[in-house]
């Protein structure tokens, strides 16, 4: 997998930052996208010359197109896109949710996935192939109190994955999702603090470390992901955990 290039959104922390390290250690060149310019610049410094920091709001389609062009200008290719950027806010019942915050969640969690796909697909088709993975959630198929925006957006993003696979699998594109389960990230801290729905009551000890989904994303970019094209890999599956080396 050496000399391949991956673009990771939401790369400033959590799964995105862990994935940046995992891909770089595997010999990939890594483009780090996030609104937090300082955070991704520091991450790029730690990774070294095989990385580039691209401050970007995934909700802005022009910014996403420009990010893809920056990757092409730097390295001449884009082999994989990880649609990881996401937000849990607003955590509120429908009747209490702030409309602007609800709309922003859709802009990031759903439209951001579309913007990434729309920017990457033409480039990958022209190159003869590529992999697009969207980080999904159990919230894509299960409603949770207080999470109407997050659940609706994740459900839409899961359908986007299926639609993109239907349209582009014949053009050499490998498109799928990853449902990681609960991961020990800042998002879980916010969920815990909210006190809303059963997820907030979980013992933090049950959350998996961020490097588990990061390792799974790398695995999915190789032959291991071929079985899952157009579908979602469930990281709760013990067979998947064994395949990526986090469970004996």
**Token pair 């020990």: residue:** 184
Q: Six-digit token pair at 153?
A: 């957006």
CA angle 78–178–41, rounded 5-degree value: 50
| Catalytic, out of 28, 114, 150, 219 | 150
Cα–Cα distance, 167 to 170 (Å, whole number) = 7
Cα–Cα distance, 134 to 132 (Å, whole number) = 7
CA dihedral 145, 35, 211, 28 (to 10 degrees): 140
Q: Long-range CB contacts (< 8 A, 24+ apart) of 30-33?
A: 30/5, 30/6, 31/5, 31/6, 31/7, 31/67, 31/70, 31/71, 31/74, 32/8, 33/7, 33/8, 33/9, 33/58, 33/67, 33/85
Count H helices, E strands: the chain? 9, 7
Beta-carbon-side half-sphere exposure of residue 3 (alpha carbons within 13 Å)? 1
Q: Is 150 a catalytic residue?
A: yes
Residues noted as catalytic:
150
């Amino acid at each position: 997998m050496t000399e391949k290039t991956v673009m990771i959104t939401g790369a400033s922390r959590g799964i995105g930052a862990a994935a940046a390290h995992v891909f770089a250690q595997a010999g990939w060149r890594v483009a780090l996208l996030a609104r937090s310019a300082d955070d991704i610049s520091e991450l790029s410094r730690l990774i070294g010359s095989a990385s580039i920091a691209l401050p970007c709001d995934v909700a802005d389609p022009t910014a996403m197109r420009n990010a893809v062009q920056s990757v092409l200008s730097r390295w001449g290719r884009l082999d994989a896109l990880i649609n990881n950027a996401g937000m849990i806010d607003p955590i509120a019942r429908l009747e209490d949710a702030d409309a602007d915050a609800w709309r922003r969640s859709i802009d990031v969690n759903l439209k951001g996935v579309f913007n990434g796909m729309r920017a990457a697909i033409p480039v990958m088709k022209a190159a003869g192939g590529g992999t697009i993975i969207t980080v999904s959630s159990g919230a894509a198929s299960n409603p949770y109190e207080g999470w109407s925006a997050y659940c609706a957006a994740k459900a839409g993003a899961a359908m986007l994955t299926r639609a993109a696979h239907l349209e582009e699998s014949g053009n050499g594109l490998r498109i799928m999702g990853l449902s990681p389960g609960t991961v020990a990230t800042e998002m879980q801290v916010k969920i815990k603090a909210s006190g809303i729905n059963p997820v907030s009551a979980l013992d933090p000890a049950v959350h998996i470390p961020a490097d588990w989904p990061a390792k799974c994303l790398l695995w999915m970019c190789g032959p291991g992901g071929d079985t899952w094209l157009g579908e979602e890999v469930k990281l709760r599956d013990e067979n998947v955990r064994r395949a990526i080396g986090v469970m004996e």
